[in-house]
């Protein structure tokens, strides 16, 4: 199975700040990567797919980048509604696997 | 709009089985995939498997083979997941999520989740 290592596990940032979350795959996943946001008690919501494509309706302050085994999610100008957990997921190979998650809090 | 409505919370005894449902609306059920996921609160997410609603073809995470069985009822646009021989390790929240035909590894709509508690 492809292992997805996400960092940091938790992150505290101020409103308006830019934050970056990293995801490393145990092998090349050829941009088969998605990012999800999950608020407490809710289901995950798709943010980014194909490593850098913004899902419909997602604010443009979210962006994804990377290639090979290294990927990142950037949130520009952090808003209060961005407080959530974030997960990366690879869908290049079966079984599809997720990173351990990053819990983003406000400082 | 696309909606996935899951069945409610379940409290089941060890050794029993449970069948979760995911009723969909707002899109063409038969040309999409449905995946199921397991999440223990506070932890990450595991992919259980997927089913193509068009022909019922399935693919499972090896870890969940024998544990989960995925089916669909196209007449009611509903997907189901049977979990068998339940143990306390199966206590979790289970989500259904849609994968589009061409990018079925990407989940663009999710159900609200169904909590399963296995306890005697």
Helix (H, G, I), strand (E, B) or coil at B89: helix
Per-residue pLDDT reduced to its tens digit, A62-98:
999 999 999 999 999 999 999 999 999 999 999 999 9
Give the minimum alpha-carbon distance from A10 to chain B in angstroms, rounded to a whole number.
Answer: 12
Nearest to A91 by CA among B48, B105, B25: B105
Task: Tell whether the model's pLDDT for residue B102 goes beyond 90.
Answer: no
Q: Confidence class of residue B38 from pLDDT cuts 50, 70 and 90?
A: very high
Give the integer Cα–Cα distance in Å for B63 and A97. 12
**pLDDT at res. B106:** 96
B61 touches chain A (CB under 8 A): yes
Q: Residues with Cβ < 8 Å from B87, sequence gap 6 or more?
A: B14, B118
**pLDDT at res. A28:** 98
């Amino acid at each position: 199975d492809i292992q997805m290592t996400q960092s940091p596990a938790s992150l505290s940032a101020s409103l308006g700040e830019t934050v970056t979350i990293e995801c490393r795959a145990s092998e090349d996943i050829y941009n088969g990567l998605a990012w999800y946001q999950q608020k407490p008690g809710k289901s995950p919501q798709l943010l980014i797919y194909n490593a850098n494509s913004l899902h419909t309706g997602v604010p443009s302050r979210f962006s994804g980048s990377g290639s090979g085994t290294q990927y990142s999610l950037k949130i520009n100008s952090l808003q209060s509604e961005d407080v959530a957990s974030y997960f990366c997921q690879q869908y290049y190979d079966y079984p599809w696997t997720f990173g351990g998650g990053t819990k983003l809090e406000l400082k | 709009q696309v909606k996935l409505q899951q069945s409610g919370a379940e409290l089941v005894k060890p050794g029993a089985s449970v069948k979760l449902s995911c009723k969909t609306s707002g899109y063409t059920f038969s040309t999409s995939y449905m995946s199921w996921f397991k999440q223990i609160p506070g932890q990450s997410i595991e992919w259980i498997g997927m089913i193509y609603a068009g022909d019922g073809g399935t693919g499972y995470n090896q870890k969940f083979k024998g544990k989960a069985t995925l089916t669909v009822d196209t007449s009611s646009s509903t997907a189901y997941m049977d979990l068998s021989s339940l143990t306390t390790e199966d206590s979790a929240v289970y989500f259904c999520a849609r994968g589009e035909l061409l990018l079925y590894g990407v989940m663009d709509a999710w159900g609200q989740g169904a909590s399963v508690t296995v306890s005697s």
